[in-house]
Amino acid sequence: MIVVAPCGYDRAKAAQAIVQLADLPEWQTLRAVRTGRIFPVDANSYFSRPGPRLVEGIEELQRSLAWL
């Protein structure tokens, strides 16, 4: 599993970053990529800043892990 959480990116921009990575041959060799276990998250709101919203970010990660 790969969680894509670039600092300052919301979920949509993180998803765009994944699309850009798709052109790299090395990216395609990763098992998580081949099995579709790539999850963009809203790092700007939930992970890049300390505070109460961090708990919401952890809950988001839990939902992604439950999917596995």
Distance, in Å, from the CA atom of 30 to the CA atom of 13, rounded to the nearest integer, reads 21
Distance, in Å, from the CA atom of 59 to the CA atom of 22, rounded to the nearest integer, reads 27
Q: Which residues contact 26 (CB under 8 A, 6 or more apart)?
A: none
Q: Mean pLDDT per segment of 10 residues, for the chain of length 68 residues? A: 92 95 92 94 84 83 76
pLDDT attached to residue 68:
62
Model's pTM, two decimal places? 0.76
Q: Are 14 and 5 in contact (CB under 8 A)?
A: yes
pLDDT attached to residue 9:
94
Which stretches of the chain are DSSP H helices?
A: 11-21, 25-28, 31-34, 43-46, 53-67
